[in-house]
Structure 1
C-alpha cells in the first residue's frame, strides 16, 4: 500500500485555492509524471454537529509507492468560475470530492462540470487537527476493523484522510480498545514514530467524539 507523503503541511492554513495546491505539486515535479491529480473532500463533524470538508489534492506514484498530499483549510463551501464564464459562484465543498485537476489548475467535477479559479472558504474549527492526530485516528480505526464504517469509498493510500467520514466516528464510542493496546498497535505499525502518550491518545479520540 502506498505511503502517504504530506507536502508543506505546515502551510495548509495559508493556502486557499486549488492553484495553491497545484503549485506545491509543481514544485515537487509531480506533474512531470501524471496529467491529473485527484481532489478528495473528507467529512469532519464538529462538536456543534456542523459537518465541514477536509480538502486535499492527491497524486499517487505507483513506482515509488507513495501518494503525495497537499491539503487546504477545512471548509463548507468554495468559490469558482465555470468554464467559459466570468461569474464567480459558490458551491458546496463536497462537490469537490472525486474531482480531478490538471497542471493548469482546471478542475473537473465528477458530474462533468468544469471549473477554474477554485478557492475554498475556510471554516472556523474549535481545534487544530495535527498529522499525529490523523495517524492515531487511522491506526485506531484499523485496529478496530472499522474501515467500512468510517471510510466513504475504497482507499488506495496509506492514511486516507480524504476518504474519512468523521461523522461516523461517534458511533464507535464505547468500543475503543484500551489505550495500552492502541499504543502497542501503533508501535508495531510505525516503529519509527515517536511513541505518543496515553493522554495524547485520549485527547485525539475526544477530539473526534470517540470518547
Structure 2
C-alpha cells in the first residue's frame, strides 16, 4: 500500500459534524444506537434495521400527498355571502400573467411542491436497489448529493407556518374553512420531517461506496 493509499484510508475513517465541523474517527454504533457530536450533540450516525424500506415508503407517501394536496382545494373563504375555494396550484397559476409576480409564484411553487417531490424521487432512486442488496443505480452518488443540496430549499414546513399566520389575520375578516388539501399538506409536513430525521446519511454513503 502506497502513502496515498494510507492517506485515503485514514480520511475514510473520519467524520465531520455538519453543524460545528468537529472531526471524529468513526466508531460505528450498533443498530438502534446513535453516535453524536460531543460539542453540539448533533446526531452523526444513527443506523436502524430496515430503515431503507421505511424511508422509501415515506418518500412515496410524500410524493402522493404533494400531488393530491396541490390539486385538491386547500381552503375556502366566505365573506358577505360570497365564497371561493382555491388549491395551491390555483394560487400559483393566478399570477402567471403578471410579470414579476409570475416569477415569484413559480419560485413559491418550486420550494413547496417541486423541490420536495424531486427530493423524494431522488431518495427512492438511491435507496431502492440498496434495500434489496443490489448495486446502486448509475449516478446514485450524484443523485444523493443533489438531494442533500436541495434540502435547505425544501420549504413545505415554512409554507405551513406562513399559512397559519395568514389565516389568523384573515379569520377576523372572513369565514375560513380548511379543504382536503390543507390536511394532506399537514400530514405531508410531518412525513418530510420524519423522513429527514429517520435517514442516517452516513449509512447511505457507506452503502453507495460499496
- TM-score category (smaller protein): under 0.3
| Higher percent of residues as helix | 2
Normalising by structure 1, report the TM-score: 0.25
- In our comparison, the structure showing a higher alpha carbon Rg is 2
**Bigger relative contact order, structure 1 or 2, given CA contacts below 8 A and separation 6+?**
2
Structure 1 or 2: larger strand share? 1
